[in-house]
Structure 1
Amino acid sequence: MDDDTEKELISNNNESEAALQKKHLSMLDRLSKRQQSRPTNSTEPSTESTSSFLTRFSQLKSSIESHLSESQSISSDPSQLKPHFDKISESISDLEKLVAQSSYFLPSYDVRSSLKTVSDLKRNLENLSSELIPKKKFSFKNKASKKERDSVIPESKPESKPSIVSVRDSVQSSFVVRDSPGFRNKTGEVLIGEFSESEVGEFTISDLDSCEVRIIGCVRALFIHRLKNCRVYVGPVTGSILIEEVEGCVFVIASHQIRIHHAKGSDFYLRVRSRPIVEDCNGVRFAPYCLSYRGIEEHLRGAGLDAETGNWANVDDFRWLRAVQSPNWSIMPENERVGIVDISKSESMEEI
């Protein structure tokens, strides 16, 4: 081998090594930036792995089951039962929040299994509560006070305008069913929940027809049942949202976890940390979150939802196990999406 050939080979080797080193450094830089860009939350699992989640989940589950088993032993002192059950309920909510925060890296099977466990624990708590603290649900007094749990009395209205029902921080105590505020059994009304001072626990929206719901502020968990032809605009939900039996509706919602069951012909504008889950749905469409009101950016940051993850388009259909796209949901065409919706106005909606 002559000197020129040897020099050429050495030069080529040096260039190859330099290229590989540059590629390696570039990869390390990308991984570092990706890790730094991930939102941090002190309540999330310290290690993003299925095994660490399952260990933590099992510990919390065992603790809850232990407290449930103690309920019979303290039933002789009714004054202790309510705080005892309240503590268990709070622990179950923490368990559900753990699932929501971890679901973006968990396999679908583990998400389903964990949610079923949470549901079973809730059912066990409800059964024990009903058994040990009997409710006077058959008395005439409770029937007469049923309206008090829904909302404040709607103001008088002319026929051409929908009524506006408001729920604010100062009237949360008017909801007596499971200590949960909510809107229930309304038709053709504008329902406003404004919780700007602090995060609300569970909030329920059920049995509405042709209504418009606006929730300003943070909610820990949101339950939506049996809505038809409604528009629902919601600020950040720090835990999870469950939607069941809705038709012809529009939802603009942000949460760590969103589950949708039995939805038909409805549109969902989402910001969500984990992949949205749909089941037994058809004709549902998805687009990015588009809500605005005074203070929403601060609320989103506080809930860990200020960053757009793009998961609004990564939908898991639990009833569609094939490798091809599910026919039950689709991405909404950009030319059919609404603009930014501002719900700061109390009397009318405004689109920017």
Structure 2
Amino acid sequence: MASAGSAANAEAAAKFWSNFQHQKQQIKQMASRNQDISQRLRNLDTSLREALIYLPPYDQKQLTRDLDELRALLHKTSVDSSLMVSNGKSKAGFRFKSAVTRPAEPLMSPPAAAIPEANTRDCVADTKDTSYSFAGITGAWVIAELHGTSQTDCELRDITDSIIDLRPISHSLRALNCHRLQNTLVICGPFAGSATVRDTKHSTLILGVRQFRLENSNTVDVFVYCTSHPIIENSSAVRFAPLPTSLVSEMVLGELEKSGLGGLENCFDKVDDFNWLKRMASPNWSLLNTQVDCRTGKDAWLLVNQGSRPLDQALEQLLPNEKTNI
């Protein structure tokens, strides 16, 4: 006989599934009318991550695919709208708007040549709901600027050979979504939300979250404070470690407390691989040997605080490489 807890979970999962499908159909209809649906889609994404604690694994995969389908639809409509505008035709579309979040240099000083102006044109903040989007960046050292104080989301996509520092806005985040990062370092302070990373290669992530998920990625090092089991799917050569001690300052400890993560177990080493159901350890992920990894030294992460070296040298030292493959 099923327990009362499992019955309640099944009922909650069925209810969420029904509501999710209803929202999905409504979003599709809104997209067909070319309305702005980005905020509603982000809200749906957030609600799905909150429901992961009781959704069955199959439902998690299916609903995640549904979200990807909606994101693709949103992206296609945005591109179509942009093409019509570039052709001199006016057509309403949905896209992130408003003020530019420019690469700043108060903490680090890479050469000007390392931050071409063209690489920052898609770094924007949507002041309508104060969401953040950084896209189409190559060879830049970007520090996010805070716009507003309400809880919101941040998206990183199509970023290569760059450092993205989200610490100035981390306390205002509820979700971080990353797509198609390569040779990139992302550093983010703790926040009581979720982080999802997809289609990412040869990158390093530093963050503190409630939930972490990595999909369709390889050669990624994750320094994380995560209060639930990190999840990987269709990924390989992934390595996990706790936050570097040189970055865990009194300020970071205070931010952990304020975000509600302080005092909770860091489950960085309890990774669930959705593609590995055998009892033996998954070959797709491992733990970094913090005793010998050159990036866990006292001075390694001063690079992201003092900008003591150019961008390319910082990336060479902080991204996954043969010297850190233990």
Does 1:136 find its partner at 2:64?
no
Determine the structure 2 residue equivalent to 1:236: 190
* Contact 1:273–1:305 (Cα < 8 Å) also in 2: yes
User: What stretches of structure 2 of length at least 5 have no aligned partner?
Assistant: 89-94, 315-326
When residues 257 and 72 of structure 1 are mapped into structure 2, their CA distance, relative to the original with a 3 A threshold, is: closer
Which runs of 5 or more residues in structure 1 are unaligned?
Answer: 1-47
Cα distance, 1:245 vs. partner?
A: 2.0
Q: TM-score, normalised by structure 1?
A: 0.62
Q: Cα distance 1:199–1:296, how it changes in 2: closer, same or farther (>3 A)?
A: farther
Q: Which residue of 1 aligns with 2:210?
A: 256
Displacement of 1:249 after TM fit?
Answer: 1.3
TM-score normalised by the chain length of structure 2: 0.67
Aligned letter for 1:224? C
Tell me, in whole angstroms, the C-alpha distance in 2 between the residues paired with 1:173 and 1:50.
41
Q: Pick one of 204, 210, 228 that aligns with 2:161.
A: 210
Residues 72-221 of structure 1 mapped to structure 2, 5 A cutoff:
89=41, 92-100=44-52, 102=53, 110-117=56-63, 119-120=65-66, 123=69, 136-141=81-86, 151-154=100-103, 159=111, 162-163=114-115, 172-173=125-126, 180-195=131-146, 198-216=149-167, 217-218=170-171, 219-221=173-175
CA deviation string 1:281-329 (max 9, x = no partner): 2222111123447853443234332235241111112222221111221
Q: How far off its partner does 1:134 sit?
A: 11
d(CA) in 2 for partners of 1:183, 1:72:
25
Shift of 1:254: 1.8
Q: Which has the larger radius of gyration?
A: 1
Higher strand share: 1
Report % sequence identity: 20
What is the alpha-carbon distance in structure 2 between the residues aligned to residue 134 and residue 292 of structure 1?
41
Q: Is the 8 A contact 1:221 1:240 kept in 2?
A: yes
Partners of 1:134 and 1:245 in 2: how far apart? 20
Report if the CA contact (8 A) 1:253-1:289 is conserved: yes
TM-aligned CA deviation for residue 210 of structure 1:
1.5
Q: Which has the higher contact order (CA 8 A, sep 6+)?
A: 2
Distance 2:204 2:27 in 1: 42
Amino acid at match of 1:173: D
Opposite residue 50 of structure 2, the aligned amino acid is: L
Give the counterpart letter for 2:296 in structure 1.
Answer: V
Could you tell me whether the CA contact under 8 Å between 1:199 and 1:220 is conserved in 2?
Answer: no
- Count of residues paired in the alignment: 285
Summarize deviations over 1:146-190 as a string: whole Å, max 9, x none: 99779445579985764399x9xxx7336x9x9842221212211
2:181 — aligned with what? Answer: 227
2:276 is equivalent to residue 320 of structure 1: yes
1:199 CA displacement: 4.8
Specify the SS of the correspondent of 1:321: coil
* Change beyond 3 A, Cα 1:115–1:52: farther
Partner of 2:296: 338
Deviation (angstroms), 1:62 = 3.4
Aligned in 2, Cα 1:236/1:267: closer, same or farther, shift over 3 Å?
same
What SS is found at the alignment partner of 1:334?
A: coil
Structure 1 equivalent of residue 320 of structure 2: none
